[in-house]
Amino acid sequence: MNVASELPSEFDFSRVVCDLMTVGMVVVDRRFSIVIWSRFMELNSGVRAEHLVGKNLFDAFPELNRNWLEKKIKSSLVLKTTSFSSWQQRPYLFRFKPANAEMGEADFMHQNASIYPVYDSSGAVQGACIAIQDVSDLAEAKVMLDNTMEQALSLEESSHRDALTGVYNRRFFDEQITREILNARRYNWPMVVAMIDVDHFKRINDSFGHPGGDEVLRRLGALLGGMLRSSDTLSRYGGEEFALILSHIDRMAAPGLLERLRVAVERMVIDLPDGRQTQITISMGAAQLQDGQAPGQLVSRADEALYAAKHGGRNRIEFSLEPVAVKV
């Protein structure tokens, strides 16, 4: 038995379906006059269907983005295709209050919208249907997840940063040098480590106090960090000493980069908190990674070179005397 044939013909089943749907449904004709305004749309707009049917959609809701929505509807009518707009592209189409307005932070309901053609019995396109899905819960959950991830990343990043200078800290340097050595060996590329020390830093603290010394370190970290390549790693190693990891660079190319840093520091004028100014110089010791060297050994070689630079007159660069291994 065909159940449908036994149902009374006076029943408006399209209205029943519209009222049961948890998705908003708006049908407009080719002139954008409203033909169907579902129960979902009534509840969220506060306007009953009998007050809207026959009215122009854009006159009834002037807050709609007419240029965008008209193009979408016309495209559906002409091309007979369905288009979709995610809340991530366009947070909402209709300015409805979210169902849980007290729980979320959003001012309006987040919506996914689909627009597809509506045909008559002969197969001709007579209008378009706009389907609205409330995805506020999903959107709020994603926003919360993104915020949590951002906070976690920010916390992790801050744990790797020196509080005074903003450059990486000793902990991060110790982790990064191991990673860089492993990569250098795996891909057979060169790597240099340089240790940097502020000359006569005790005099700076004695002359300008610790606030002055802190400002010197901040300015030095900012200057060096701004001149390095994205592949380089600058860390505050401790006190007035900084450590620099230079990947993809060898003993032949590294001195040119380090000399540019030394000259820039020498020329820098530092404004101190008490209104005075000062200038500083730095000494640098560098070493290139050798076969079989552990991180600690590489740093020790760079430290020895730094010691030689300081005892050789300061404001200079010294490279480790360890011979460069040549692979054949």
Same fold, 3-142 and 160-319: no
Cβ contact 298:193 at 8 Å: yes
Is residue 259 part of the annotated active site? The answer reads no
The pLDDT value recorded for residue 156 is 67
**Number of other residues whose CB lies within 10 A of the CB of residue 231:** 11
Question: What whole-number distance in Å separates Cα of residue 117 and Cα of residue 128?
Answer: 4
| 160-319 placed in CATH 3.30.70.270 | yes
* 270: β partners: 278
- Coil, helix or strand at residue 267: helix
pTM: 0.57
Contacts of 193 (CB under 8 A, 6+ apart): 177, 243, 244, 245, 246, 286, 287, 289, 298, 299, 302
> Residue 228 is encoded by which pair of tokens?
């390095």
Q: Where are the domains of the chain?
A: 3-142, 160-319
- Rg value, the chain, Cα: 34
| 3-142 placed in CATH 3.30.450.20 | yes
Contacts of 277 (CB under 8 A, 6+ apart): 269, 270, 271
Digitized pLDDT (tens) for each residue of the chain, 328 residues in all:
444 445 445 545 455 455 556 789 999 999 999 999 998 999 899 999 999 999 999 999 999 999 999 999 999 999 898 889 888 888 989 999 887 655 556 688 999 999 999 998 888 999 999 999 999 888 888 888 887 777 766 666 678 999 999 999 999 999 999 999 999 999 999 999 999 999 999 999 999 999 999 999 999 999 999 999 999 999 999 999 999 999 999 999 999 999 999 999 999 999 999 999 999 999 999 999 999 899 999 999 999 999 999 999 999 999 997 654 434 3
Q: Are β-strands 83-85 and 34-37 bridged in parallel, bridged antiparallel, or unpaired?
A: unpaired
Catalytic residue among 140, 240, 241, 259: 240
Question: What whole-number distance in Å separates Cα of residue 286 and Cα of residue 193?
Answer: 6
